[in-house]
Homo-oligomer: A and B are copies of this chain.
Amino acid sequence: MLDALFKPRSVAVIGASSKELHIGNRVIKNLIDFGYKGDIYPINPKADEIRGIKAYKSILDVEGPVDVAHMVIPAKFVPMAFEDCGKKGVKHIIINSGGFSEIGPEGAAIEDAFMVVARKYGMRVLGPNCQGIINSDPELRAYCNFTFTFPDPGHISIVALSGGVAEVIHQGFSAMGVGTRIYASNGNACDITIPEIIRYLGDDDGTRVIVTYVEGLRDPSTFMEVAAEVATKKPVLAMKAGRTAEGAQAAASHTGGLAKEDIATDLIFKKAGIVDFRDEGELINAAVAFASQPIPRGNRVGIITNTGGPAVIGTDILVDAGLELPPLSEKTEKRLKEKLYPDAAVHNPVDILATGTAEHYRNCLDAMMDDDHFDCVLVNFVTPFFVDCDSIAREIVAVSKQQKKPIVCNLMTDRRQWKETVRIFQDGGVPCFALPGEAARALATLVRYHRIRTRENGRIKEYTDVDKARAEKIISDASSAGRHMLLSDEVYRILDAYRIPVADWHMANSAAEAAKVAEEIGFPVVVKADAASVIHKSDMGGVAVDLEDAGAVRAAVQKMTDELAADDLRFFIQKYLPGGTEIILGAKAEEGLGHIIMFGLGGIFVEVLKDVVFNLTPVTDADAKEMLATIKGAPLLAGARGQKGVDRAAIEELICRLSKLVGDLPAIQEMDLNPVLAFEKGVFAVDARIAI
């Protein structure tokens, strides 16, 4: 439980300082200035008071209990100070100082040392090398942090390792006059983790929306598990940076960690139901909308405006984001024709004209709240000098407070002149942005979260017809033999154990045997050379296709025997399947996460257009369906250009079985089914590779 960290009844500052520009002074100043309701204990062996508060030589001298102790002392003194804290019964320690694992092994050793003490006494640690926490709860007002943005009470909570970005996001809310609830930046995160804090915020009633920023995930599976659980309760918004190789390098440099370009984080966000962002500004704006507005029940938006152009910009963005602008219902149209100016545009977007009054806005909003054509409303409002803008703001606030459908507002004004109007909106909790694009994107994100919440997650298919033990045995045998790349027959026996359909095949050791099994399989056949030394079969002349008779098979085998000259050479004889659409499937182990499954169309689609999609195991039936639907070449699977489509159900089944296979066999590092041939009825893997 992190309650004592986020709701401390008392805070000690070890390393409290009389110097203005010292963090050990600033933390105390912040606690005082922010109006902290608990007790503050400056700890300084030489001072009697700091900022007018009685100071203590040692934390052991403090009379009352201590929930949180800040450490603002050099790293080398920290383990010793932990002993004192332990003896005192301190619950949580926030280490603001740096000089730990972020600087190298000697710093990491200090982390290890103080953690031994922390565990001994059951103390939990935030940081080191971190900012700390803020809780704006009016009953508490804890600013255990040395930064400078003082939040109003609010419903957005922020958590990130990176104090810089957490602070930028925090400033974003502050600049818009939007409050926050809890802020936490945990730096090196040697003990209390981001998932732990997210779980806490998930249970915190005052938090309506959780915002996080990551550059990489330390413990991806725990992050995913926790985020998935919390995201069903309230929106979790996240942004990952370090997406480009250069960005990842920059991240690795400042975190001292191993950041890398990855796709796994995106997949984790998606699977966990996180609302993800590429742009921190969009994240900030969306959080503001989530903080006060209900989640829409659909994607149909009504627009009300008192000026033309901004509504056009908003419309473009909403439509691009997949929202619909339905027409007004007959009833709404009738109602508005009576209530608005004769020249007003009574269709969606409704233009009430610049001279439109508070009553006009109110009528329009009420009508859209009642009209079941609409799930949400975008308001554009420029503040002309000739109308009563404050009254308009009050009406919009009143309707917003009903919480029937979300309202997001683009407020176009000079905030220095229309101070009262702005204040009414802010106090009334209407999300107001200064640009139509910002407002439209924030509203579109509410709808995106609705889609995430209501999406069909599908189910993980269970298979009773698979033979896990057999597959495990094949892998352990190969592993014992020191092979990382399975032989063809091993690969095909594993596919068989998981009922992954392949073109008929048989191994042969000689030309004669090859011809014999080819007869059994039925012509035409393919012959592939199989030996540990033959990696790129095609390039090395180890593949012969469309062989029509036994003679051709014998000739092909003879030629390979001559050319490849490998001691362990055998031959893989397989039914040749002409036609079919080439698809590819792949799986790659991702540390701590299972596997990433890849699917795409073969040939130019993968090689030229990189038209592939990814998912994390376990892949559900709904996931598999979505993978088929989201490749660019999806129309080809359905049937395009007068050609019949392929057996999509069979491909989906194949993806699910592949997911099951690699899930059961974690030793598999990489696996390809490339190509798989998809026909109108059925799919068959015709080449496959497994690396363990």
Contact = CB atoms under 8 A, between A and B. Distances in A.
A635 B610 CA distance: 12
- Which has the most chain B C-beta neighbours within 10 Å: A103, A165, A438? A165
Contact of A242 (B213, B316, B437, B604): B316
Interface in A399-446: 412-415, 417, 434-438
B281 A437 contact: yes
A149 interface: yes
A254 interface: yes
Interface string A329-352: 000000000000001010101010
Count identical subunits in the complex.
2
A479 B251 CA distance: 67
A332 B417 CA distance: 48
Given A241-B309, A309-B215, A413-B171, A641 B345 contact: no
A633 B607 contact: no
A626 B683 CA distance: 40
A250 B312 contact: yes
Interface in A581-606: 603-604
Contact of A167 (B149, B172, B412): B412
A640 B607 contact: yes
Nearest to A345: B253
Range for the number of chain A residues in contact with chain B: 35 or more
A328 to B, nearest CB: 13
Interface stretch (A8-16, A21-29, A656-664): A21-29
- Which has the most chain B C-beta neighbours within 10 Å: A244, A312, A608? A312
Contacts of A649: none
A251 B314 CA distance: 11
A103 B413 CA distance: 27
A532 to B, nearest CB: 26
Contacts of A607: 640-641
Interface string A614-642: 00000000000000000011011000110
Nearest to A249: B315
Contacts of A174: 414
A164 interface: yes
A382 interface: yes
Contacts of A244: 315-316, 319-320
A522 to B, nearest CB: 30
Nearest to A284: B435
A311 interface: yes
B308 A167 contact: no
B636 A310 contact: no
A353 B320 CA distance: 41
Contacts of A318: 246
- Which has the most chain B C-beta neighbours within 10 Å: A168, A250, A343, A414? A250
A619 to B, nearest CB: 25
A633 B607 CA distance: 10
Contacts of A517: none
A417 B347 CA distance: 46
A343 to B, nearest CB: 7
Contact of A604 (B162, B245, B308, B640): B640
A172 B434 contact: yes
Interface in A656-687: none
A665 to B, nearest CB: 32
A104 to B, nearest CB: 10
A60 interface: no
Contacts of A633: 604, 608-609
A77 interface: no
A254 B305 CA distance: 11
Contacts of A109: none
A463 interface: no
B319 A247 contact: yes
Given A310-B165, A437-B281, A635-B608, A22 B343 contact: no
B175 A415 contact: yes
Contacts of A251: 308-309, 312
A254 B609 contact: no
A250 B315 contact: yes
A674 to B, nearest CB: 14
B281 A316 contact: no
Contacts of A204: none
A73 interface: no
Interface in A97-144: 103
A641 B167 contact: no
A163 interface: yes
A573 B465 CA distance: 60
A635 B603 CA distance: 13
A243 interface: yes
A171 B418 CA distance: 12
Contacts of A255: 308
- Which has the most chain B C-beta neighbours within 10 Å: A164, A174, A417, A603? A164
Given A325-B246, A608-B641, A280 B435 contact: yes
A412 B171 contact: yes
B412 A313 contact: no
A351 B162 CA distance: 14
A415 B149 CA distance: 10
A309 B213 contact: yes
B168 A345 contact: no
A434 B548 CA distance: 70
Interface string A291-312: 0000000000001000111111
Interface in A149-202: 149-150, 160, 162-165, 167-168, 171-172, 174-175
Given A148-B383, A164-B307, A247-B316, 18 more contacts: A22-B386, A26-B385, A165-B309, A168-B309, A168-B382, A168-B434, A175-B415, A175-B434, A241-B312, A243-B320, A246-B319, A247-B315, A251-B308, A254-B308, A279-B437, A281-B281, A603-B641, A609-B633
9 contacts: A150-B414, A164-B382, A168-B309, A168-B435, A175-B415, A242-B312, A247-B312, A247-B319, A250-B312
Q: Top 7 closest A-B pairs, CB basis?
A: A254-B308, A164-B307, A162-B309, A165-B309, A247-B316, A244-B319, A164-B309
